[in-house]
Structure 1
């Protein structure tokens, strides 16, 4: 599974082992150190309707 937020410029990739990988394209150094609060706010963003 692959999700990207244009608002935060963060990408979340779920691996086949059900592990979450977060990539911060604004600051790659922060990619491994997301807080649970940031992860929660990113994962619970409303999806745009088409």
Structure 2
């Protein structure tokens, strides 16, 4: 086997797109979770006294 045959194949479009999409999905999940936690951790506004 010659070294040229053993060279790694160039990444396919699907594989190269999987990383950015996966990272974007993780970031979106983290942002959504932290936003949800921050929103729910705040006490709800008290109703005005009547």
- Specify if TM > 0.5: no
Q: Which has more radius of gyration?
A: 2
Name the structure, 1 or 2, with higher relative contact order (CA <8 Å, separation 6+): 1
TM-score, normalised to structure 1, is 0.28
